[in-house]
Copies of this chain bind each other. A is one copy, B any other.
Amino acid sequence: MGEAIAPWRLVLEKAIKRNKEVTHSKYIQLATVTAQGYPANRTVVFRGFLENTNYLQMVTDKRSQKYEDLKINPVAEVCWYFTKTREQFRIRGTVIIVEEWVNDSNVGQEEIGLYSEARQKAWENLSDNGKEQFFWPTPGKQREKKWDWGDWKSEIINPPANFCLLLLQPLWVDHLQLRGNPQNRYIYSLKEGVWEWQEVNP
């Protein structure tokens, strides 16, 4: 906590800024590994960095497959491709799942308080459309003829029990710039708490 801003973070934030007017530039692809050892890959929304850290925030439903995957195997790689500036960030790391109760032996008491606050904040920052989905029927189950809208009301100020905040703690980042010939590529890795980086062949 209260960690220094990682060197890749500055480059990533520059890319976010430069692609700001592109709506889909906040959509990232999150890969996990299933219980059966298969890769799984889906688009999620980037919800900003957790304050004073380099952790990427995403949200998910406890009833979703990615929750299941991460519960068993809390590792993920995000692929973030910026269509305007033509550059890609691959961000690999471990994922903390923040639910109503944080059951993670690697997380200390002080962090639990901060993470729970961040979960509350992430809920408040969701649009009404986004919130509503947490009251819908179980994702991936066969759809009933009559859609059950659930009991969502915009007055609900606390996140429901199935609302989870995901915190991706980066360990390795691969930045590829497609512009230029040859292209440019940089790899950052966290070694004993220190970010090292080098320029590599694209």
**Chain A residues within CB distance 8 Å of chain B:** 23-24, 27, 29-33, 37-43, 73, 75-79, 81, 83, 88, 90, 92, 129, 133, 136-143, 147, 181-182, 185, 187, 198-202
Task: Determine whether the beta carbon of B182 is less than 8 Å from that of A147.
Answer: yes
Q: Choose among A75, A79, A137, A199 the residue with the greatest number of B CB atoms under 10 Å from its CB.
A: A79
Task: Determine whether the beta carbon of A202 is less than 8 Å from that of B139.
Answer: yes
Task: Specify which chain B residues have a CB less than 8 angstroms from the CB of A77 in the assembled complex.
Answer: 31, 38-41
User: How would you classify the secondary structure of chain A's contact residues: helix, strand, loop or mixed?
Assistant: strand
Task: Determine whether the beta carbon of A41 is less than 8 Å from that of B31.
Answer: yes
Please name 16 further chain A to chain B contacts, defined as beta carbons within 8 Å, in addition to the given A29-B31, A129-B181, A142-B199, sorted by A numbering.
A29-B29, A31-B77, A31-B79, A37-B75, A39-B92, A40-B92, A41-B79, A42-B79, A43-B79, A136-B182, A136-B202, A137-B201, A140-B187, A142-B200, A143-B201, A147-B182
How many copies of the shown chain assemble into the complex? 2
Task: Determine whether the beta carbon of B33 is less than 8 Å from that of A81.
Answer: no
Kindly state the separation between the CA atoms of A137 and B199 in the bound complex, as whole angstroms: 13
Task: Determine whether the beta carbon of A200 is less than 8 Å from that of B143.
Answer: yes
Task: Determine whether the beta carbon of A27 is less than 8 Å from that of B143.
Answer: no
The answer to whether A90 and B140 touch (CB under 8 A), given A29-B81, A37-B33, is: no
The answer to whether A198 and B29 touch (CB under 8 A), given A38-B77, A41-B78, A42-B88, is: no
Q: Choose among A29, A33, A129, A138 the residue with the greatest number of B CB atoms under 10 Å from its CB.
A: A29
Minimal beta-carbon separation of A122 from chain B (angstroms) = 20
Task: Specify which chain B residues have a CB less than 8 angstroms from the CB of A129 in the assembled complex.
Answer: 181
Task: Specify which chain B residues have a CB less than 8 angstroms from the CB of A30 in the assembled complex.
Answer: 41
